Structure 1
Amino acid sequence: MDNTTTSPRLVIIDYQDLVSSDIDLSIQLDRAFGGRNHSSSLPPNDDDKDELSPLGIIAIRNVPNFVDAKMKFLPLAHPLAHLETEYLERQLSDPKSLYNAGWSHGKEKLGDQPDFAKASYYFNPVTDTPGTSEERERYPASYPCNKWPNEAELPQLTNFKDAAKHLGTIMHEVVVLLAKRIDAMTTNRVKGYTSNLLFDAMKTTEKVKGRLLYYYPLEENGHTTNNDITAKEDTWIGWHNDSGFLTSLAGDLYVNDSTGELLDEQDVDSEAGLYVIDRSGKSIHVTIPPDCMAVQIGECLQILTGGVVVATPHCVRGPRAGWNPQSTIKVARISHPCFIDSKPTFPLCMPEGCSREDVSRAGSGMGKVPPLEDRWIEDGMTFGDFLQKSFDKYYDWKG
């Protein structure tokens, strides 16, 4: 796989351009997110079309305070992941929310197998008690209350809560700005689109979920002796689409699992990291610049925009077995996506004048993810019902 063209293909915009009302970003958004039936900025019959095919992700540079907030929070994943298992399971886990708050390890599934390759710490950066008491009772996975570590007992996690909320709030605010731009682009292309639909939903939502991820060294899962497994692209997290609205990404860090020390580029397999399927069906390795925040599209936006923007299948690949025989470092990865979604009762309706075919044909899962039309079974299906249907399909998916 040739990864040398990855960086030039990633669309990068400046934060000041995002906030400026004088700058039209429609072309950049189309090149980042456009579907196969809507990408007007792509040449229809050009030999270089594949090289311009949208990756489904955009990077934003110069977001105020982002880099500092990222570097204060992400490294705390290492001491968190190395706390006593009993403390993590008894004090920081939340079975009532189906482990959508606090610590989660081995609770999610890949097919019919528990996923032990990574652990997650979930939190809501905008409020500790989202929704009403009735909503929390009815939708425990969507509106869980936060479970924070006791920093007085855990000096290695000093300022954990403040750092988590600060980074997550920044990422939410940038997504709200981007949502307004997606609204504008879609309004210009689809007659039946409701103006400011996405912006209003993202600005007022309390369903914001930060996910601090710690990917354990693959050798701890018995992968070093299995070349078939370590040759796969999705060893750290399997191929999937984000099923929600917008996902902000803080990029990643690689650390020595034994010490927590940040690793230099030469200590990490160059083929490890995030992969996406572009609109031409190619698997592409994407590296988010360390000074950039990034945003991905979820499947709900593919529905709401009638396919103007499209969710992109993605996965995370771990280091290949034996990629550096001289190294004894156990490489771990840290990342922090933040999922910004609507209320569970939000109806997923395509714009007037669009068809289910418009929505489904805009993207291409290339067999990597369950087809959207098998989960979005009717126009107007609520986000909560769609999410549950997607969970069920992914757990049984053998793609």
Structure 2
Amino acid sequence: MHSADSSRLVVVDYQDVASSKVNLSVQLESAFGGLQSSTSSSPLGIIAIRNVPNFIDAKGKFLSLAHALAHLEPEYLETHLSDPKSMYNAGWSHGKEKLGDKPDVAKASYYFNPISDSPGTTEERERYPASYPCNKWPNEDEVPQLKTFKDAAKTLGKIMHQVVVLLAKHIDAMAERRVKGYTKNFLFEAMRKTEKVKGRLLYYYPLDEKCVDSAAAKEDSWIGWHNDSGFLTSLAGDLYVDDDTGQYLDASEVDPEAGLYVADRSGESIQVTIPQDCLAVQIGECLQILTGGVVVATPHCVRGPRLGWNPDSSIRVARISHPCFIDLKPTFPLTMPAGCSREDVTRVGSGMGRVPPLDERWHDGMTFGDFLHTTFSKYYGLKGFDAK
């Protein structure tokens, strides 16, 4: 059961996020709160921020390059832009992730760190190659169509990181009021100082019968249901293009049921459209733990166009998006505040039947790296996978 109701999406202004004098507790509760939330409607687990300086221009410049990247020669992508050492956490990745026991070929990714080309220390890069990979950028002499790619990626990623830093201060204030034992300004300082920032430029290829079984009925045909497992995720929204030409598509040319879906606290599936002029932020499960369940991660997925939804159109629809994951070190301990119980952390958003329950993947004090390892094992059955 799903519905489209973006009127429930909480939208705030950047100036309010940037101000230390504005209290955003009501808006944050409406966006991120759990079942104990005092809001009248069930939170969607996402907040949109309008009027972010330079965001619209930066988004347009970077996302517009995704089509050219995704259509480079496969040999060049695999030879020059892929990074097996980092388990494909830097550069190009297509068909490396698995859905069950099958490679995921419905989308491709380009991973990069907008904050540093060589994050962490030498020791950290050697010990945790998936967490601190060095960036791999296209050679502009070899692919002149991507001449501005590196600069555009860093510009957008830094904006998205900075907005999360500002929002973190408001989340801190909310958690400090609600939870005994929450460390003052913890999240703000952590997000401000971290070098573990990962941008992911996503290109969703047109779906066909080879990619999905009965795409008309499959709600998560482009990305399966999942929770963000980290701390905070910044979203640049999306755009749709003609895969053959790279031309932007008008909304009338795209299946109205395609796009982002979230599960609200009642478990209902809601289609959410992020306004094109807004940056959005989602909560990760680590932050749910660290706030004692004051803010809660939300299951979400991406639905592709239904096969044959418009029999009069021959356009092969592709989707482009860019989340940016702002996290902490893999050795960081995921410990709930002293005044909270395990039930406070896990009773809300514990899977809702769509994702593996949090209480099966986390115990108090386990490290972020171990949590990712356990989580990926639960999702994909990758028992030998080292997510650290």
What's the TM-score bracket when you normalise by the shorter of the two chains?
over 0.9
Equivalent position SS for 2:208: helix
Name the residue aligned to 1:141: 130
Name the residue aligned to 1:47: none
Q: Kindly provide the CA deviation profile for residues 240-287 of structure 1, in whole angstroms up to 9, marking residues without a partner as x.
A: 000000000000000000000000010000000000000111000000
Name the residue aligned to 2:165: 176
Q: Kindly provide the CA deviation profile for residues 64-113 of structure 1, in whole angstroms up to 9, marking residues without a partner as x.
A: 00000000000111000000000000100000000000000000011111
Alignment of 1:342-353 (within 5 A): 342-353=328-339
Equivalent position SS for 1:347: coil
Name the residue aligned to 2:300: 314
Paired residues of 2:235 and 2:323 also in contact (CA < 8 A): yes
* 2:253 counterpart (243, 264, 267): 267
Distance 1:244 1:369 in 2: 15
Distance 2:241 2:125 in 1: 36
TM-score by length of 1: 0.94
Where does the alignment leave 5 or more consecutive residues of structure 2 unmatched? 383-388
Paired residues of 1:33 and 1:310 also in contact (CA < 8 A): yes
* 1:244 counterpart (212, 217, 230): 230
Q: 1:75/1:307 Cα in 2 relative to 1: closer, same or farther (>3 Å)? A: same
- Alpha-carbon deviation of 1:220? 7.1
Q: Which runs of 4+ in 1 moved over 3 A?
A: 1-4, 220-223
Distance 1:207 1:166 in 2: 16
Paired residues of 1:118 and 1:213 also in contact (CA < 8 A): yes
Residue 131 (1) aligns with residue 120 (2): yes
Name the residue aligned to 2:361: 375
- Alpha-carbon deviation of 1:396? 2.8
Paired residues of 2:232 and 2:327 also in contact (CA < 8 A): yes
Name the residue aligned to 2:386: none
Residue 279 (1) aligns with residue 265 (2): yes
Residue 66 (1) aligns with residue 65 (2): no
Residue 30 (1) aligns with residue 17 (2): no
Q: 1:57/1:74 Cα in 2 relative to 1: closer, same or farther (>3 Å)? A: same
Deviates more, 1:73-82 or 1:388-397: 388-397
Where does the alignment leave 5 or more consecutive residues of structure 1 unmatched? 44-51
Alignment of 1:4-83 (within 5 A): 4=4, 6-37=5-36, 39-40=37-38, 42-43=39-40, 52-83=41-72
Distance 2:361 2:2 in 1: 34
Residue 305 (1) aligns with residue 291 (2): yes
Equivalent position SS for 1:230: coil
- Alpha-carbon deviation of 1:21? 2.1
- What is the number of equivalent residue pairs in this alignment? 382
Equivalent position SS for 2:328: coil
Residue 328 (1) aligns with residue 317 (2): no
Q: 1:243/1:222 Cα in 2 relative to 1: closer, same or farther (>3 Å)? A: closer
- Alpha-carbon deviation of 1:367? 1.1
Q: Kindly provide the CA deviation profile for residues 16-43 of structure 1, in whole angstroms up to 9, marking residues without a partner as x.
A: 0111222110000000000112x12x24
Q: Kindly provide the CA deviation profile for residues 143-169 of structure 1, in whole angstroms up to 9, marking residues without a partner as x.
A: 000000001111111210000000000
Distance 1:253 1:281 in 2: 27
* 1:102 counterpart (91, 95, 103): 91
Q: Kindly provide the CA deviation profile for residues 337-361 of structure 1, in whole angstroms up to 9, marking residues without a partner as x.
A: 0000011111100000211111000
TM-score by length of 2: 0.96
- Alpha-carbon deviation of 1:366? 1.5
Distance 1:304 1:86 in 2: 43
- Alpha-carbon deviation of 1:3? 3.9
Residue 215 (1) aligns with residue 219 (2): no
* One-letter amino acid matched to 2:19: S
* 1:388 counterpart (369, 373, 378): 373
Name the residue aligned to 1:49: none
Identity of aligned residues (%): 76
Paired residues of 2:350 and 2:358 also in contact (CA < 8 A): no
Residue 359 (1) aligns with residue 348 (2): no
Paired residues of 2:105 and 2:211 also in contact (CA < 8 A): no
* 1:92 counterpart (64, 76, 81): 81
